Amino acid sequence: MIMFPGGFSAGDEPDGSAKFFATAFQNAKLKEAVEKLLNERDGLVLGVCNGFQTLIKLGLVPYGKICGQTDASPTLTYNTIGRHISKMVYTKVVTNKSPWLQGAELGGVYTNPASHGEGRFVASEEVLKELFTNGQVATQYCSLDGSITMDEEWNPNGSYMAVEGITSPDGRVLGKMAHSERRGDSVAVNIYGEQDMKIFESGVKYFK
């Protein structure tokens, strides 16, 4: 597995650590290692927040390979409110295609912290249609009852079609904005809703 974490490395100035990661993994040896992991070893890749930005910049989502971005590629850009957001968000699992989501309930609603200044998922209508058709949209922002919405109360960064996470075509690469890793038995106990998507357990189970 490869895990690209989130956080405020590089001061979270435009793209933050995503630029560093993406540049490093364009190195021929690293690129070859990632390609072998995915194509020969049935490996998994996960990126959260800045890590999701990294996957987008590399092309690992939505294309499943390191090919960079083009003008037609989806991207993550500034939140519509023009500043950083830090709040709990609710997301709905809309596909079980990814090994990372095998422990999550299909159609289930999960709440996790979101903390980013550039988390708005933007793509053309054609690309969005293709992603939904292929089952590559993994999670969407939603209200408490699971209704997908563009209301900024529930979709705080203004992501197109309320997209919060996407996968590669085969589902083995997953990128998402909300911090599924920021949970624990004594964390956010006063917040309503299920917080554990069992992403890491699912990743480990994939290899057992």
What value, to the nearest 5°, has the Cα angle with vertex 186 and ends 173 and 8? 50
Residue 56 amino acid letter: I
Write out the two tokens for 163: 């997209």
Among 116, 118, 164, 179, the one annotated catalytic: 179
CA gap 135, 95 in Å, rounded = 6
Structural element, H or E, at residue 133: helix 125-133
Among 13, 35, 49, 105, the one annotated catalytic: 49
Active-site annotation holds for 179:
yes
Q: 180: left (phi > 0), else alpha (psi -120 to 50), else beta?
A: alpha
Among 35, 142, 181, 194, the one annotated catalytic: 181
CA gap 157, 179 in Å, rounded = 15
As annotated, the active-site residues are 49, 179, 181
